A and B are shown apart, each in its own frame.
Chain A
Amino acid sequence: MSTVRVLVGTRKGAFILTSDGKRQDWKVDGPHFAGWEIYHMKGSPVDLDRIYASQTSGWFGQLLQCSTDGGKTWEQPGVKSGEAPQSWPPAKSNRFLYDTSPETGKPLTTHQWYDGTQHPWEFKRVWHLEPSLTDAQTVYAGVEDAALFRSTDGGRNWHELAGLRGHGTGPQWQPGAGGMCLHTIILDPADPGRIYIAISAAGAFRTDDGGVTWKPINKGLVSNMIPDPNAETGHCVHHIAMHPARPGVLFMQKHWDVMRSDDAGDSWHEVSGNLPTDFGFAIDVHAHEPETLYVVPITSDSLHYPPEGKLRVYRSKSGGNEWEPLTKGLPQQDCYVNVLRDAMAVDSLDECGVYFGTTGGQVYASADAGDNWQPIVRDLPAVLSVEVQTLL
């Protein structure tokens, strides 16, 4: 019998929800790291019991946690709980140091601030962790202020892939309302050298050489709130999704607009179609149907809750443009929650499961690709992220 493990990061800790393949009865485990913000947790596809977690706090800064037993126990990589360091130099699992060397960082030290002046790059937190598809010890971290880091020793030590910030447009990047965060990392399963990332509010970028060199991939994005709506960078990309069987096709939820690219991001076109609003944060793709997409429309950039107080997931089975509301089991009145960018995920069971968490603390699951929904839990802290592991 299959098991599904849902990893939920919240404003006040981490929760792990498990069920069998029927996905009807759930066990709730947590909070782990009670009281801390858990921006993201994700398991290694190579070693499913190895889970990385970003633990952060306005008081105490950023910590990186790792479990090697499916979330039962955790420790900072390289630091045994309650023990003095066994080796020197000690592991530096919570040290994210920007690379400003002439060879790689070039040396890039400032980006654009809200008032148009240049502002120093300052590390704040890890927004997203993306474990390697092939090596359990390798994991990528997307951070605020926007940069991409990689660890090849299980999170003990981190090194910036500085070619991203240093490729040329970095000084023009500007924070969005939520900070200048690198929130999306997509590894191409067919091409180990290709990585997509997205930054608010700089846009999407791609490397084809494993992170050494990068280029903006924002052609076709139109953002009417910036001075040049068709600028090379400056677009507030909220999230990008890809089906692993078709890595050249990308779907994007932008600040406004749902977009699609059929050429690995070289060009984009809008597929918002009949959505009630094309503002939103989360977007994902069905596990077995590369043309089936899910978004959660949010009223507007001023009103971060669903239109008309009705929580609706919209599904397109045609790769965009034609969307249907999915409402069965979801509140259809007086609902004013948000669904954040990393708070939607799918499992890979034959009947694809879809999951999302809300800022109201609910985690909803559908065991039939979105036709019917049920809350797994209703009263968690605000949900920041949802990831799913399918354990066979």
Chain B
Amino acid sequence: MSSVRIVLPYHLRNLAHVGAEIALPVAEPVTMRRVLDALEATYPMLRGTIREYETGKRRDFLRFFACEEDWSHESVDKWLPRAVSEGKEPLLIIGAIAGG
């Protein structure tokens, strides 16, 4: 089990009543799907806010970054970088700059 650090956008931090960064245990191998599953299981109020309820599709105006790389369009079953699974680098969930 890895301890994965996650940084949420401002509004989702407020919704989940957490600070700027959280850490969650995630089973290895660590993938985006497993991280999001763990996140939603621990913070059920976030269900539907990062990925759509039925399809599991990432919401259009959210982006995933890890180790300075955009993971938004990668397979959710691809292994995340070792630095993320080892807790050295956080997974960033970012609201796109849109809408003014």
Report A's interface with B, CB cutoff 8 A: 34-36, 57-63, 75-76, 79, 81-82, 84-85, 90-92, 94-95, 97
Nearest residue (CB) in A for B53 is A95
Contacts of B41 in A (CB 8 A): 84-85
**Of the candidates A59, A60, A84, A92, which one forms a contact with B42 in the assembled complex, judged by CB atoms under 8 Å apart?**
A84
Q: In the bound complex, how far is the Cα of B47 from the Cα of A79, in angstroms? A: 10
CB within 8 Å for A61 and B49 given contacts A79-B44, A81-B17: yes
Q: How far is the CA of A62 from the CA of B47 in the complex (A)?
A: 10
Ordered nearest first, which 6 A-B pairs have the shortest CB separation?
A60-B49, A59-B61, A94-B48, A82-B17, A79-B44, A85-B44
Given contacts A59-B98, A84-B44, 10 further A-B contacts (CB under 8 A): A35-B11, A36-B11, A59-B59, A59-B62, A60-B59, A63-B15, A63-B49, A84-B41, A84-B42, A94-B49
B57 nearest CB across to chain A (Å):
11
Which B12-49 residues have a C-beta within 8 angstroms of A?
12, 14-18, 41-45, 47-49
Cα separation A208 to B48 with both chains bound (whole Å): 34
Contact between A58 and B61, CB atoms less than 8 A apart? yes
Q: How far is the CA of A59 from the CA of B49 in the complex (A)?
A: 8
Size class of the contact patch on chain B? 20 to 34
How many Å lie between the Cα of A85 and that of B39 in the bound state? 12
B54 contact from A57, A59, A63, A97, Cβ within 8 A:
A97
What residues of chain B lie closer than 8 Å to A63, measured between beta carbons?
15, 45, 48-49
Bound form: Cα–Cα A61–B98 in Å: 15
Cα–Cα distance between A104 and B59 once the two chains are bound (Å)? 29
**Complex contacts, A76 vs chain B, CB 8 Å:** 44-45
Q: For the complex formed, measure the closest distance between the CB of A61 and the CB atoms of chain B, giving whole angstroms.
A: 5
Query: Mind listing 30 A-B residue pairs with CB under 8 Å?
Result: A34-B14, A35-B11, A58-B61, A58-B99, A59-B11, A59-B61, A59-B96, A59-B98, A60-B11, A60-B59, A60-B62, A61-B48, A61-B49, A62-B48, A63-B45, A63-B48, A76-B44, A79-B44, A81-B17, A81-B45, A82-B18, A82-B43, A84-B44, A85-B44, A90-B44, A90-B47, A92-B47, A94-B47, A94-B53, A97-B53
Complex Cα gap A85–B41 (Å): 7
Answer whether residue B95 sits at the interface, using C-beta atoms and an 8 A cutoff: yes
Contact check, A61 vs B59: say whether CB atoms are below 8 A apart. Answer: yes
* A82/B16 contact (C-beta < 8 A), A59-B61, A59-B95, A61-B59 known: yes
How far is the CB of A388 from the nearest CB of chain B, in Å?
28
Residue of A61, A76, A84, A85 contacting most chain B CB atoms (<10 Å): A61
Q: How far is the CB of A206 from chain B (nearest CB, A)?
A: 30
Question: CA–CA, A97 to B55, complex, Å?
Answer: 11
